[in-house]
Amino acid sequence: MKSHSLFPFAAVTTLAITLLCVAAPALEGTFAIGAGPTHTAWVGAGVSEPRDGLWTALNPAAIVDLNRRLDLSIAGILTDITMYPRGIGANPLHREIPDEDLYGTGTASLVVPTQCGTWSVAFWTPSGVGVTFPHSRNLFSMLLGNRDRRLTYEHARLGAAYAYEFDNGWALGIEAHASISRFRTDHLTLKLTSAQADYDYDEALGGGLGIGVYKTWEKLSFGASYHSREWVDEFNEYDDLLKHSVDLPQYFQTGIGYEVAPWLTIIADYKWIDWSGVSQHGDAPMGDAAELLSMNPVAGGFGREDQHIVKLAFESPLNGKWIVRGGYSRALTDVIPDDQVFLNSLVPTLTRDHFALGAAYKVNDRWEIQATWLHAVDREMEENGRGDLLSKLGKGSRIESGSDEILLGCSYTF
């Protein structure tokens, strides 16, 4: 084996270890909208248009059309969130509580085609959220130490995929990965006390699978992928807050790509995320009647609902060196219902509209660099007070959320 052939594997391994403890603030529920600058430039679309090794995570079947390559990227995310506590249970002294945070994340992937199929390995951070408000959102925690104001959730995956193209042109791929999640918060529990771990990190291991299909014709491409529920261990240090393990939901994505002209390809995708199918995300926050009447009440879920998302993107090669990409994503449904806004204000996954613009420059036959800007359009939601007790205590509370992300990447083919 030539010495330079060890470089891709070493780079992927080193970057994965380095990036294990970073966050990826959420844009689709607690999911990030994309992985890497190319995929993010298409606002998470492109299940039918593979471009780099991170299609391991998007559609493992599509990697059959990739050459041997190494892809690395870093990203910086600036969040701008403001909470406006209202209602009889809200903080009466701070009526506007702003929070601006800067997060970092990254990706790495390696693709190796062989005579009997294509293999890939990838590291990515598909989920995360974080807030560090300076003041408590509720009256009880304000009086008892200024808690119930901070939350960090980080989720990273290391996975491998295999894809095979059959004689009829259809490709089938499968992906398997292991994951690590980290969580900390001083969130209020149903006992009206702060979580007992009091903002110390707890970790949990997990894993999941993905499967995809892919086919191309002269100008048209099609892809579809299904990703299983992410099975995760419980955060035992937070068992007074979390009734269940914080699994991530199953989701399905399908889409097409069409080459309108040599200088323009149009991409359209649809995505469904099953938030209601995971107890910790979808269950009613206050639990059932028996729990409410017990002497030792436990927390329920977060009352989140399924998402249906449509995405439209484009790619335009300008010449032999430059490629411009962009896209728009619209969530047709809210993950947070209007009667659970106060509860979810430490996980403000409100944004429904996203725009992205990116460019790639081919340095030479082996190297390419990419840059992408992603904007999550500011959105505000108000608690209507028509839900459970927490909803009524926080009636009239509002939360506003938006973010901007810059991604930089490079690709090496060999």
83, with CB counted inside 10 A (0-12, 13-18, 19+), is buried
Please give the residue that has the higher pLDDT: either 198 or 228: 228
Return d(Cα 27, Cα 401) in angstroms, integer: 10
Q: Which domains does the chain have, with CATH numbers?
A: 3-44+67-112+122-169+179-206+227-249+259-413 (2.40.160)
CA distances to 54, 74, 83, 186, 190 from 108, in Å = 8, 9, 35, 33, 41
Question: Quick one: CA dihedral 50, 53, 56, 57, positive or negative?
Answer: negative
pLDDT digits (tens, 9 = 90+) for 202-244: 999 999 999 999 999 999 999 999 999 999 999 999 998 888 8
Return d(Cα 287, Cα 284) in angstroms, integer: 6
What's the number of CA atoms in the CB half-sphere (13 Å) around residue 18?
A: 14
Residue the block writes with tokens 């047709």: 332
Return d(Cα 391, Cα 192) in angstroms, integer: 14
Q: What pTM was computed for the model?
A: 0.89
Mean pLDDT of 115-143: 93
pLDDT digits (tens, 9 = 90+) for 271-293: 999 999 998 888 877 654 445 54
Cβ–Cβ < 8 Å for 382, 410? no
Q: Read out DSSP for 260-297?
A: EETTEEEEEEEEEE-GGGSHHHHS-TT--HHHHHSSS-
- What average pLDDT does the structure give for the chain? 90
